Structure 1
Amino acid sequence: MTPRRSLRLAVCALALASNALAGIVLADEANRSQTDKSLVGQPLGVVELFTSQGCSSCLPADAFFAELAAKENIVALAYHVDYWDYLGWKDTLSRKENTERQYEYMRAFGSRSVYTPQAVINGRSHVNGARREEVDGALARMKTSGEGMQVGIKVSRTSDRVIIDAGDAGSGPSDAHVVIVYFDPPQTIKIGKGENTGRSMTYWNAVSGIQTAGMWHGKAHRYELPMSVIAKKGGCAVLLQSVGKDGMPGPILGAALIHKP
């Protein structure tokens, strides 16, 4: 082996090592970016859709909701209710707790009845969930009027836990619940009876559980969840939601999505 060849090999080895190191760094940055992509930042707003597989009017709303769920700046949650099951098809994703949450909103809004498809925007108002111009209009209007997301929520992960940092409200609101809303991964369901017999629909972010993780009192505070809980779900949303003296849900002040790792 000649000295010139040895030098050439050494340069090549150094280049390969540098490339490998760069690859590791880039991969690490990509992983970190992927981890934090939808976890940090101020979303445009929260859309909670109350829907049912047995309701023919819900199909357009479910299709529009799929578009919302794909947007990184929207926290979109679908609550399948059970009161249309008598029409002949039991909604496979419905939960009694979802129906109860809708009735709580009904009382909070001073309404006389519930309906589907109902989209509740930022916990502040409701519109027909199939009318995209009303949903988009409400989100835009609330952002400019100060009724959007007012408190930053940052989510980070370790190997065994999820860390939720709720920001400081300054001179803004001072009390809210930290609500964790778990949802399932996308599921395609073929409906066998009722108004939508024979239809197949892919349902996104169907809510499977709700829990209150703690209280927030206007100052920056940290909360933790075990990673094992989220790993069993499709993901979850963190909602910083004010609650009235009567216990009814109020405006959502901050929110973030946590996707399954």
Structure 2
Amino acid sequence: MQARTLPAQRGWAWIIEGFMLWKRNPALITFLVFGYWLCLLVVAAVPFVGQVLMSLIMPALSLGIYNGCKAVGEGRKAGPDILLSGFRQNLPELVKIGGIYLIGTFAVLGLTALADDGILAELMLGKRKLDEATAEDPQLGLSLLIGALGSTPLMMAYWFAPLLAGWGRISAAKAMFFSFVACSRNWRAFLAYALGLMLVVMVPSLLIGVLALVSPLIGQLLSIALPAVFIPVVFASFYANALDVFGTITPDDAA
């Protein structure tokens, strides 16, 4: 499976293309994204096994969002039920991807625990609150650095994996390998993409802060509207960068 190597400026274009895709059917894409989060929250609330189940179904649910974005991009009609369509596309390998990602996450947390005696792990698992003393602990800063360095390759391996396994019908291991290679080849575009997302959040947030000084009500309304638009656009941009890097992803392409 061949991944294109793209110039850095394509990272900025992904955000614009994500917005244009969202604008073609904002109701559907917004529903899929927030439905995705709602499903994960409901599953995570299951006692004892919720967190594990959430990780295992996350790739299939994310594939449902991609299926919706693909339908919108191709001008096809799609309903809310497309969110669950990923469960019909190579589900065993999607579950494996979720399991590998979960194991990798615990491995990274284990490394951070060597630096901070488990402070970061307890914060992420909700077993400890972030108070002033904890925030100023130098060990926490070191563990955050270790966590960032350890989770980056894990995220790279996961980024395209649900699409490659679901649409390309390949194994979880191959999907995560190809995803890592694709992200490595396009690190410049992804760096520009990350910087662009930061600007897209920061600039409107600053403007909302200024408007809130003039009219608190307008500021509050805009602070609610911003994530309601921004989050679905980001998910739509995930589809845009996958399409840009791989072109088409089908079993024939994988072969």
Q: Check whether TM > 0.5.
A: no
More strand as a share of residues: 1
Please indicate the TM-score interval, normalised by the length of the shorter structure. Answer: under 0.3
Greater share of residues in helix: 2
TM-score (structure 2 length as normaliser): 0.20
TM-score normalised to the size of structure 1?
A: 0.20
Determine which structure has greater relative contact order: mean sequence separation of CA pairs < 8 Å that are 6+ residues apart, divided by chain length. 2
Larger radius of gyration: 1
